[in-house]
A and B are shown apart, each in its own frame.
Chain A
Amino acid sequence: MNMKKRDIITGLVLAVMLVIASFFASRYPDGLERVSFDKNFKERENPPIITVIPGYVWPGKMNEKLAVFFGGVAGISIVFYSVCLVGRFLKREEQ
């Protein structure tokens, strides 16, 4: 398996396209949230201890879709680099 730079860019572009697709994501509650409403335990939920980019929406006053785009791209970048960092660290540890 040979992972070329072109493959990495293609994968990341596809991820960004998914972020754009998320503009049209359903606003309905997800499966667990729906069950928590139906079975009356939603009120047990505590607010998050810390908030950085809540709900994938970049903070500040801007167009909502743009805020989701920036939030999503920030997430993709953080996930990509943190996973690569973990991978490189594991490689070095083994060597």
Chain B
Amino acid sequence: MHIPDGFLNTGVLGGTWSLSVIGIGYCLKKTARKLKDRTVPLMGVISAFIFAAQMVNFPITGATSGHILGGTLAAATLGPYAAAISLCCVLIVQCLIFQDGGLTALGANVLNLSLAGAGLSYYIYIIIRKIIGGKCGIILGAGFAGWLSVESAAGLCSIELALSGVSALKIILPAMLGVHAIIGAAEAIATVLIISFVLKVRPDLLYNPV
């Protein structure tokens, strides 16, 4: 769901860049306070894993493909702020080196996939985890937050496209949410499988261990 150059107008580009700079700046400040020496390599590994996972497009219905975003996976292991920074670094590398996502649209992509996809999904994960409790809460919370991270990114992307005059929101929003509901389901399954594996072999790698 990387927005290329040309889809968004100048006003939306300026707005999303501003929000992203402020958001990532806040995350950098918060992460610096909480970052432990041993968290740094974990950030690197999780980011590299997400980068590689995003290369694997899987087919869904209607001659369409999707790939996982990894926002909730990063948030559950790194916490919301470090996860947003990790996703932001992945998006910058994808944009500058691999031309996946436009340079002018980088602000929008960071807002949709990093700040909302990783940062906000963390709080959904934590709320569900607290309500249900135990390992079941962690797994179900991660799964639902994973699905919602994809849907929220699709929703934000639709709003940005509508504000840019690409298409009416009532046309583009159902189309984007519909196709990404299926991709989100795959994200949920992948997140549940990975978090279950982490819980089994290295539960201490979770941001808030059991």
Contact = CB atoms under 8 A, between A and B. Distances in A.
Most buried by A among B40, B67, B94, B183: B40
Interface of B: 1-7, 28, 31-33, 35-49, 51-53, 55-59, 62-67, 82, 85-86, 89-90, 92-94, 96-100, 102-104, 154, 157, 161, 166-167, 171-172, 175-176, 179-180, 183, 202, 204-205, 209
Contacts of A84: 40-41, 43-44
A76 interface: yes
A28 B60 CA distance: 9
A88 B86 CA distance: 13
A89 to B, nearest CB: 9
Interface of A: 1-3, 7-8, 11-12, 14-16, 18-19, 21-22, 25-32, 34-36, 38-39, 41, 44-56, 68, 71-72, 74-84, 86-88, 90-91, 93-94
Given A35-B172, A35-B176, A41-B167, 14 more contacts: A3-B45, A8-B44, A18-B55, A19-B55, A22-B56, A32-B2, A32-B176, A39-B167, A41-B7, A44-B7, A54-B99, A55-B98, A75-B52, A88-B40
A28 B7 contact: no
Nearest to A92: B32
Contacts, number: 211
Interface of A is mostly: helix
Contacts of B102: 46, 48
Nearest to A49: B103
A29 B41 CA distance: 33
A86 B31 CA distance: 11
